[in-house]
Structure 1
Amino acid sequence: MDRFRGALGESPPLWWSILYFFSLLTGYYVLRPVRDAMAASSDALAVFPRAWVDWARAHGHDIGDFTLQVLFTGTFLVMLALQPLYGALVARWPRRVFLPTVYCIFIAALATFYVLFHREIPGRGVTFFVWSAVFNLFAVTVFWSFMADVFDDTHAKRFYGYIGAGGTVGAMLGPMITRVLAERVGIANLMLVSIGFLCICLLCIYKLRPWALRREQLRGETTGERAMGGSVWAGFRLVWGEPLLRALAMLGFFGVMVGTLLYNEQAAIVRHAFGADATRATAYFANIDLAINLFAITVQLFVTRHLLRAFGVGPALLIPGFAVLLGFCALAASPFPMLVAVVQVATRGCEFALGKPGRETIYTRVPREWRYKAKAFIDTFVYRTSDVSTAWMHKALAGFGSQIVFTVGIGASLVFMFSAWRVVKLQRTLGDAPSPGDTRR
C-alpha cells in the first residue's frame, strides 16, 4: 500500500488513468451480464427480430439452435465494416477529436438501447450483443493506445499493474451493480448507469491530454493533437509486414479461440439450466464475472508489477498459456460444469492480470501508428475473425461431445503458447523508448 501511495504521489496522471479504466470497465461490466444472458436465452424473439425467426421456421430450422453462431457472425461482419471507418477517423482527425467522438457514439447507442429494452422490442438481443462486443473491443483498445501515449516503457512496467487493478475493481463493481439492480429496476435502466460511467471516461481523457502531449514532445513524435494521416488500411499493412505485429496477431487469434470454446460450452450449460429466464441468467453471469475479477485483482496487486519489473513481459505472456493448457487438459478428462466455471475463472483471470498488461507494455516502445492503427486491427478484426470461425467450429464439434471440444482446445492452447514465445522473442528487438523521467507537471 505504501508503494501504491508513493506511485500516486509521483505520477498525477496515474490517478486519472486508474479512474478512467475503473469507469470504463464498470460501465462495460454492468452490461456484460445482460449480453451473456441474451446469448444464452432460449427465447428466440428476445434475441432475434420476428422476421428472422419466421424465415428460419419457414425453411425448417429453429434459429435458436444457432444463436451463438449468428451472434458471432453478425459481430464479425459489423467489425469488418467498422474497421475502415475507425481507420479513417484515426487518420483524419486529431486525438482530441476522435477519442471523445468514439465515446460519444457509444453513449448515444446506449440511450437507444434504453428505449429498445424498456419497450421490449423483438430482436433487441442480437443488436445489443453485437454492439456490446464492438464497444468492448474498440473502447478498451483506444484506452490502452492512449495509455501508451501517456506512459513510457519504464513507467508502464511500474504502473500498468495498478491501472489494471483499477479496471478490475470496476469489473467487479459492474456485476455487483447488475446483480443488485437487475431485478429491482429492470434491464433497461442499467443502460443509464453505464452512460454515467462513460461520461467520467470523457472527463479523464480531457485531464490526461497534457501528459500525452508532454511525452510526445520528449520523444520527438508528431503530436497527437494533429491528425495522424496515412491510409485507413494502414493497420492491415503494418500487421502483414512486421514480424512482431504478426506474432501479436497470432497470439490474439489463438487466445480468442480458446476463450470462445470455453464461452460456448458455458452458454450451453446456462441455456439448459435457466431456459428463457434472462434475469436469473444475468445474475449467474454476474457471479462468474465477480469471481474472475476477484482472482485477477489479487494477481494484479501482488504479482503483476513485480513480474514485469523483474523479468519483463516473458512470464506475463507465458503463464496464461500454461493456465489455458492445463485447464483444457483437465476439461478433456472430466468435462463437468463446475470445472468449466473454475477453468473460466483461472484462464480469464490470468489474461486480465498478466497477459493484457504484458502485451500493452510492448506498445509503449513502438511508433504511434502501430499503437492506434495496427493495434486496433489486431484487437478488433483479428479478434472477431477468431471469434466467428471458432463459433462455427464449436458448432461442428459439439455433436461429438465436450471431450472432443476440449481435446481440440488442447491443440489450440499449444499454438497459443508458441505464439506467446514468438512475441517474447521478437519484442527483444525493440529499442527502449526514451524515458521522460519524472511525469509530474
Structure 2
Amino acid sequence: MLTNVFLILCAYYFIKPLREGWIAISDIEGLSKMEVRAYSSFAQSIFLLFIVGWYGRLSERWSRITLITRATLFCISNMVIFWILQPGLFIEGLPASGIIFYLWVGMFGVFIVAQFWTFSADIYTDESGKRLLPLIAIGGTSGAAAGSWMVDLFVETGIIHTEALLLIATLPLFGSVLITRTVDARLRNQGSLGKVKSSVSIPALVTENKDIKPIIIGAKLIFYSRFMLAAALVTLLTNWVNTNGENLLFRVIQDALAMQAIELNITGSQQILGFIRDGTTAFYGNFFFWVNITALFLQSFMASRLLKLGGFGVILLTLPVIALLSYTTMALLPILLVVKIMKIAENATDYSINNTARHVLWLPVDTKMRFLGKPAIDTLYVRFGDGLAAITVLIGVQVLSLSTKQFFIFNVSLVVLWLIFGIMLVREYNKALAANLTENKR
C-alpha cells in the first residue's frame, strides 16, 4: 500500500506541473494570464461539486475494486487523449484545451488520491490503521516529491520532452491498478471479505451522507454556534489567502519568463509559447518538489511535537503567522526568488502542520456538529474561498488595476483577519474541550 500511494502521487505530480504550463499558454482575449488561471480554478471548484455526486452514485452501483479499477483506467484513457490534443504535438492548439485540461487535472487529483485513502480505511481495522496509515502517508509525500523532482529534471535537462510527460504518468497508474487488485484478491483469499464492504461509498469525496440536505443544514448550523462560525471563517480565509497567493505566484512567473524571452531574443510566436510552457512546467516541478520535501520534514518531525508541547492553538496559528511574515516579505520584495521561497514555506506548512490542525479541530465537538457542520465547511466554505479569490483577481485587474505589490498588501490584510478569527476558534475549541471533559467525568 505504501508503494501504491507512492505511484499514485508520483503520477499526479507528473501532471500537476504540466497543468500550469498548459494554462500559461491558454490565452483569452481581454484577460491576463493570472485571470485565466484564477477563473479556471474557480470553475474547477464548481465542476467538482457536480462530479462528486455522480461519482458517489457510481460507488453505490459498483463493487469497491470495480469502481477503483474503472475510475483509474478512465483517467489513464483521458491522459492519452490529452497527450494527443496538447498544443504543438499533432495540432497547433485547440481553443480552450488548456482550460479543459486544468479542470480535468483538478478532478483527477481529488478522485484518484481520495479513493486510495478510502480503500485503505476499508481494508484496515482501527488498530492496524492507526499503526500503518501514518507510515503509508509518508509514501504519498515521497511519491509527490519524486514525481515533481523528475519533472524538473526531465524538462530542465531535455532528457524527456514536455509532450511525453502525460504518457509517462500512465505507467505508475497501471502499476497502482495492479497493486490494488492484488491487495483486494489477497483479502478474498484470506477469507476476510466479510470484514470488507462489497460496495463502498467514498467518504473522502462526499459527505458522510451523500444527500445534499445535510450540507444545507450544516451551512445553517454555523450561525447557531460560535465554534462553527469561527471554523467556517478560518477555512474561508485560509483558502482565500492561499489561492490569492497561488495566482500571484503564477503572475510573477509569467512576468519573469516574458523578460527572459526578451533577453534570449526569442521572437517567434511558437517559440515563445514553447519557452513559456516548458519554463512554467519546469518551475512548478521544482517548486512542488521543495514544497513536498519541506512538508515531509515538518510532518515527520514537527507537527506532533508542536501539538504535544503547544497544544491545538499553536498548530492552528502556525500557518497564519507564517503567512503574515511571508506576504509582508513578498509585498516588500515582489521578485520571483523571494515569492518562491515564501510560498514554499506557506504551502509546506499548510500540507503538514495545518493539515494536522484540521483533523484535531473536530475531536471535542459532538456528533451533530461533526457530521453536519464539517461537510458544509469542507465543501461550501472552501469553494466560497475559491470564489472570493476569483473576484479578487477580477476587481483587482479589471477595475482597480492593482500592481503585484498591491495584491500582496491586500493579502496581508486578509491574513490579519485570519489571525483574529483563528484566535477566536482556539478559544471556542478550548471551551468545547473543557465541556467534553466535564461530560466524560459524569
TM-score (norm 1): 0.73
> Residue 417 of structure 1: CA displacement?
4.3
- Larger displacement relative to structure 2 (295-304 or 258-267): 295-304
1:115-264 superposed matches below 5 A: 115-117=84-86, 118-120=89-91, 121-122=93-94, 123-149=96-122, 161-182=134-155, 183-206=158-181, 210=187, 224-226=197-199, 231-233=210-212, 236-237=215-216, 239-240=218-219, 250-264=233-247
How far apart are the structure 1 equivalents of 2:405 and 2:194? 51
CA apart distance, 1:410 = 2.6
Cα distance change, pair 270–227 in 1 and its aligned pair in 2 (3 A): closer
Whether 1:20 aligns to 2:4 is yes
What 5-or-longer segments of structure 1 have no aligned partner? 1-15, 42-46, 218-222, 433-441
Partners of 1:388 and 1:380 lie apart in 2 by 12
Please name the residue that 2:326 is paired with. Answer: 327
Shift of residue 133 of structure 1?
1.7
Structure 2 counterpart of 1:11 = none
Partners in 1 of 2:213 and 2:47 — Cα distance?
19
Partner of 1:413: 415
1:154/1:137 Cα in 2 relative to 1: closer, same or farther (>3 Å)?
Answer: same
Q: Distance in 2 between matches of 1:426 and 1:368?
A: 16
User: For residues 345 and 422 of structure 2, what CA distance do their matches in structure 1 show?
Assistant: 18
CA distance in 2, matches of 1:145, 1:138: 10
Number of residue pairs the alignment of both structures matches: 395
Could you tell me which amino acid in structure 1 is paired with residue 107 of structure 2?
Answer: V
Q: Which amino acid aligns with 2:334?
A: P
> Alpha carbons of 1:102 and 1:325: their partners in 2 closer, same or farther (altered >3 Å)?
farther
TM-aligned CA deviation for residue 151 of structure 1: 6.0
Question: What SS does the aligned partner of 1:185 have?
Answer: coil
2:393 maps to 1:394: yes
Identity of aligned residues (%): 20
Query: 2:12 touches 2:147 (CA, 8 Å); kept in 1?
Result: yes
Match of 2:248 in 1: 265
Residue 347 (structure 1) shift: 0.6
Q: Give per-residue Cα distances to partners, 1:190-209, cap 9 Å, x unaligned.
A: 11222222233334544666
Larger Rg belongs to: 2
Gaps of 5+ in 2: 202-207, 259-272, 438-442
Displacement of 1:346 in angstroms is 0.3
CA distance in 2, matches of 1:168, 1:375: 25
Contact 2:256 2:336 in 1 (8 A): no
Residue 348 of structure 1 deviates from its aligned partner by 0.5
C-alpha separation between the residues in 1 aligned to 2:167 and 2:192? 35
Quick check: 1:100–1:202 contact (8 Å CA) kept in 2?
yes
Q: CA deviation at 1:163?
A: 3.6
| 1:358-437 → structure 2 map (5 Å cutoff) | 358-360=357-359, 382-398=381-397, 399-417=401-419, 422=425, 424-425=429-430, 428=433
Residues of 2 paired with 1:364 and 1:205: CA distance?
A: 31
CA-based RMSD of the aligned residues comes to 4.2
- The one-letter amino acid of 1:28's match is Y
Per-residue displacement from partner, 1:298-327 (whole Å, max 9, x unpaired)?
222322344456777554433223212222
SS at match of 1:400: coil
How much does 1:215 deviate? 12
Aligned to 1:439: none
Residue identity opposite 1:336 in structure 2: I
1:352 corresponding residue in structure 2: 351
Where does residue 89 of structure 1 map in the other structure?
58
